[in-house]
Structure 1
Amino acid sequence: MPPLPLHPEQPAVADPLFLYGQRFDSRLMLGTARYPSPATLREAVLSARPAMLTASLRRQSASAEAANGSQDNTFWALLQELGVPVLPNTAGCHSAQEALATSHMAREVFNTDWIKLELIGDDYTLQPDTLNLVGVADRLIRDGFKVLPYCTDDLVLCQRLVDVGCQAVMPWAAPIGTGKGPINPHALQTLRERLDVPLIVDAGLGRPSHACTVLEWGFDAVLLNTAVALSPQPVQMAQAFAHAVQAGRQAYLAGVMQEQASAQPSTPVLGTPFWHHA
Structure 2
Amino acid sequence: MSAEAPLSPAATPDPKPLIIAGREFRSRLMTGTGKYANFDLMRRSIAASGSEIVTVAVRRVQTNAPGHEGLGEALDWKTLWMLPNTAGCKTAEEAIRVARLGREMAKLLGQEDNNFVKLEVIPDAKYLLPDPIGTLQAAEQLVKEGFAVLPYINADPLLAKRLEEAGCATVMPLGSPIGSGQGIRNAANIQIIIENASVPVVVDAGIGTPSEAAQAMEMGADALLINTAIAQAQDPVLMGYAMGLATQAGRIAYLSGRIPVKGYASASSPLTGTVTG
Using the size of structure 1 for normalisation, the TM-score is 0.89
Corresponding residue SS for 1:249: helix
Structure 1: which 5+ runs fail to align? 1-5, 64-71
* C-alpha distance 104-179 of structure 1, shift in aligned 2 (>3 A): same
Aligned length: 262
- Across the aligned residues of Structure 1 and Structure 2, the Cα RMSD in angstroms comes to 2.1
For residues 10 and 124 of structure 2, the distance between their equivalents in structure 1, rounded to whole angstroms, comes to 43
CA 191–32 in structure 1, closer or farther in 2 if over 3 Å, else same: same
Superposition deviation, residue 7 in structure 1: 10
Q: 1:104 and 2:100 equivalent?
A: yes
Determine the structure 2 residue equivalent to 1:157: 159
Give runs of aligned pairs for residues 35-184 of structure 1, distance below 5 A.
Answer: 35-61=36-62, 74-80=70-76, 83-111=79-107, 112-184=114-186
Letter paired with 2:76: Q
Would you say 1:24 and 2:25 are equivalent positions? yes
Shift of 1:51: 2.2
Offset, 1:271: 3.1
8 Å CA contact 2:201–2:222 kept in 1: the answer is yes
Secondary structure class of the residue paired with 1:43: helix
Q: Structure 2 CA distance, aligned partners of 1:8 and 1:56? A: 25
Q: Which moved more, 1:72-81 or 1:18-27?
A: 72-81
1:76 Cα shift? Answer: 2.1
Q: Which amino acid aligns with 1:102?
A: V
Where does structure 2 lack aligned partners over 5 or more consecutive residues? 1-5, 108-113
Residue pair 1:88, 1:115 contacting (<8 A) in 2 also: yes
Comparing 234-243 with 53-62, greater Cα deviation is found at 53-62
Alpha carbons 1:93, 1:99 under 8 Å: kept: yes
Q: Which moved more, 1:185-194 or 1:23-32?
A: 185-194
* Partner residue in 1 for 2:226: 224
Deviations 1:47-69 (A, max 9, x none): 11202000011232168xxxxxx
SS in 1 for 2:151: strand
* Aligned mates of 1:204, 1:47 — CA distance in 2: 20
Contact 1:121/1:130 (8 A) holds in 2: no
Runs of 4+ in 1 over 6 A off after TM superposition: 6-12
Rg larger in structure:
1
Q: What does the per-residue CA deviation read over 1:9-64, in whole Å, with 9 as the maximum and x for residues that have no partner?
A: 9778444210111000100000001101111011112211202000011232168x
Partner Cα separation in structure 1 for residue 10 and residue 272 of structure 2: 46
Q: Is contact 1:90-1:119 (8 Å) kept?
A: yes
Query: Which whole-Å CA distance do the structure 2 matches of 1:130 and 1:173 have between them?
Result: 16
Q: Could you state the TM-score of these two structures normalised by the residue count of structure 2?
A: 0.89
The answer (yes or no) to whether the contact 2:18–2:27 under 8 Å persists in 1 is: yes
The CA distance in 1 between the partners of 2:63 and 2:162, in whole Å, is: 36
CA contact (8 A) 2:175 2:183 kept: yes
